[in-house]
Chains A and B, each alone.
Chain A
Amino acid sequence: MIVASPKSITELKSIIEGHRKVLFVGCGTCVTVCLAGGEREVSISSYAIRMARRLDRNPVEILQITIERQCDNEFLKELAAPASEAEAIVSFGCGAGVQAIAERFPGKPVYAALNTQFLGVLEQQAVWTEKCMGCGDCMLAHFGGICPVTRCAKRLLNGPCGGSTETRCEVDPDRPCAWQLIYERLKSIGQLGRLEEVVPPKDWSTAWYGGARKIVRREHQV
């Protein structure tokens, strides 16, 4: 899923400082699951911002709604009525959700309440870790299902760097070295021979470097 984290109340308050009636929009999908932008978080943030603005003697009216998915035009229709009442919209969706709402409401300021972080998994309660950077050309088959493009801090495709130890990455003592994980994994699935293959330079043209990407699958178009 897409993992995000909330901006601070101080930052969010400063972003909407000039508005007196604002619509806060939660998203019911990824950011609800990662406890950053669902109905509950919208409610808590609304309360905190209202309180802070009241203390500043600059009250703000906040409308709240949480829709199923902000990245799907179908669900954005629900925003038409409340959006028409508000001066501005604050999206508690990921970066895609924020931009989808901005496109849908061209005359309305739309702001992000979250910092969108990564594609990841729930590792343990309230701990998420990054697993995929969406490079557009998945190489997981080479590496026993552990992605060095995302999980090696130097994106090394042919083995660990000199800073690797058996327990951790050079960059972060809390993070295991991806290459030690790949080694253990390939050993456990009987594919250590893959380590001897020289992996050629990655073709990054499928990744973001050519600009924002687009997928058209004609077989699904009507």
Chain B
Amino acid sequence: MNRFGQSLLSGRMITTAEVLAPAGADPAALRALSLSVPSFLDAVIVADNPDRIRSSAFSAAVELSRRKAAGVILSMTTRDRNRLALMSDALGAAALGVEGILCMSGRHGSIDICPEAAAAGDFDSIQLVQAMKRMVLDGADPKSKKKAPALNLQIGATVHPYLRPLQLNLMCVRKKISVGADFLVTQAVFDTEEFESWMAALRRRGLDKRTAIIASVLPLSSGEHVRALQRSRMYGPIGDDIVDRISAAPDPAAEGLSIAAEIANILRGIRGVRGIHVIGGGCGLVPPEMFSEKAGWKSEDRGSVNA
């Protein structure tokens, strides 16, 4: 089992961070990004063109894997690749040291990404998890009579604490677990009370024991940033108290880091949460100050999960 798999099974609270590949083809930018990964992270999750056309997540993931600073999870959206491309990229990624695949449908291309593009939409994210798990368990070529070696990949999916009605939400979570998701990463959490009630619903059904729930935080950078996210509802509700704090702060970006650290601390205390994922909010990698004591980040929090 790879390092990230061991982290998932370790029982301690894990920490992951999002990486955005550079928009251009400058090899120095990619190298600098890979050198900036803090060594205490359990893994980085490389996003798959979440906002625009960037240098490929695959290439960034491979470069990061070579540096071995942290485990590398490659995000793959069903938006841009059909099953041929998804499967072959996963095989290549596994061969080159990537430790996991995060399966998602991806933000729709028509929303400020590339409205003119045709979407693949061949698999959906649950079908992708299922296909990846089969590949992991049965080997690369299910049509081959020879038993191929199994793949060393952890397979994850995204979940959405604020999706309602709850019955529909839980159906999605159950399906992702039933097809074998090793870990589930949530949308960025701002409303911790609502998140807690969702986690309670998962716990009542024992779903938190069947996979690793990794809750996400996102450091806000400015009043404009938070208002845009509030309008888009991309991450569920963001309270006016957060908007007011960011808007009134002399250094909004530093305040954003503090708020994210506060939310992370609350999330760590919620039963069933197995890790924290820090979304970059448009940065290549969240600034290192995020993980500083000044921001309120509890880097020493490596104790056992509050299960």
Contact in complex: B108, A171 (CB < 8 Å): yes
With A163-B234, A200-B127 known as contacts, the answer to whether A154 contacts B174 (CB < 8 A) is: no
Interface string of B171-183 (1 = CB under 8 A from A): 1101100110000
Contact in complex: A157, B108 (CB < 8 Å): no
Contact in complex: A198, B124 (CB < 8 Å): no
Interface size on A, residues (CB 8 A): 28
Contact in complex: B105, A161 (CB < 8 Å): yes
Q: Distance in Å from the Cβ of B6 to the closest Cβ of chain A? A: 28
With A154-B79, A154-B119, A158-B126 known as contacts, the answer to whether A163 contacts B107 (CB < 8 A) is: yes
Chain B residue contacts of A190, Cβ below 8 A: none
Contact in complex: B108, A153 (CB < 8 Å): yes
Q: Distance in Å from the Cβ of B79 to the closest Cβ of chain A? A: 7
Closest A residue to B108 by CB, please name it.
A171
Chain A residue contacts of B179, Cβ below 8 A: 198
Q: Is B125 at the interface (CB under 8 A from chain A)?
A: yes
Chain B residue contacts of A196, Cβ below 8 A: 171, 174-175
For chain B, the bracket of interface size reads 35 or more
Closest A residue to B179 by CB, please name it.
A198
Contact in complex: B108, A163 (CB < 8 Å): yes
Among A153, A157, A162, A202, contact of B160 (Cβ-Cβ < 8 Å): A162
A204 CA / B78 CA spacing, docked (Å): 15
Closest A residue to B124 by CB, please name it.
A156
Q: Distance in Å from the Cβ of A170 to the closest Cβ of chain B? A: 6
Contact in complex: A160, B172 (CB < 8 Å): yes
Contact in complex: A162, B168 (CB < 8 Å): no
Q: Is A195 at the interface (CB under 8 A from chain B)?
A: yes
Q: Is A211 at the interface (CB under 8 A from chain B)?
A: no
Among A156, A159, A170, contact of B171 (Cβ-Cβ < 8 Å): A159
A171 CA / B106 CA spacing, docked (Å): 12
Contact in complex: A171, B165 (CB < 8 Å): no
Closest A residue to B123 by CB, please name it.
A201
Among A161, A179, A192, A201, contact of B131 (Cβ-Cβ < 8 Å): A201
Closest A residue to B235 by CB, please name it.
A162
Q: Is A164 at the interface (CB under 8 A from chain B)?
A: yes
Among B119, B124, B164, contact of A166 (Cβ-Cβ < 8 Å): B164
With A160-B163, A183-B165 known as contacts, the answer to whether A204 contacts B125 (CB < 8 A) is: no
With A154-B121, A164-B163, A183-B165 known as contacts, the answer to whether A159 contacts B126 (CB < 8 A) is: yes
Contact in complex: B121, A170 (CB < 8 Å): no
User: Which 3 interchain pairs have the tightest Cβ spacing?
Assistant: A162-B160, A155-B121, A158-B126
Given A162-B160, A192-B167, 5 more contacts at CB 8 Å?
A: A154-B119, A156-B125, A162-B187, A198-B179, A201-B131
Can you list 22 A-B contacts with CB-CB less than 8 angstroms, sorted by A residue number?
A154-B78, A155-B119, A156-B105, A156-B124, A157-B124, A158-B125, A158-B172, A158-B175, A159-B168, A160-B163, A162-B159, A162-B163, A165-B164, A166-B164, A170-B108, A196-B174, A198-B127, A198-B179, A199-B127, A201-B83, A201-B127, A202-B122
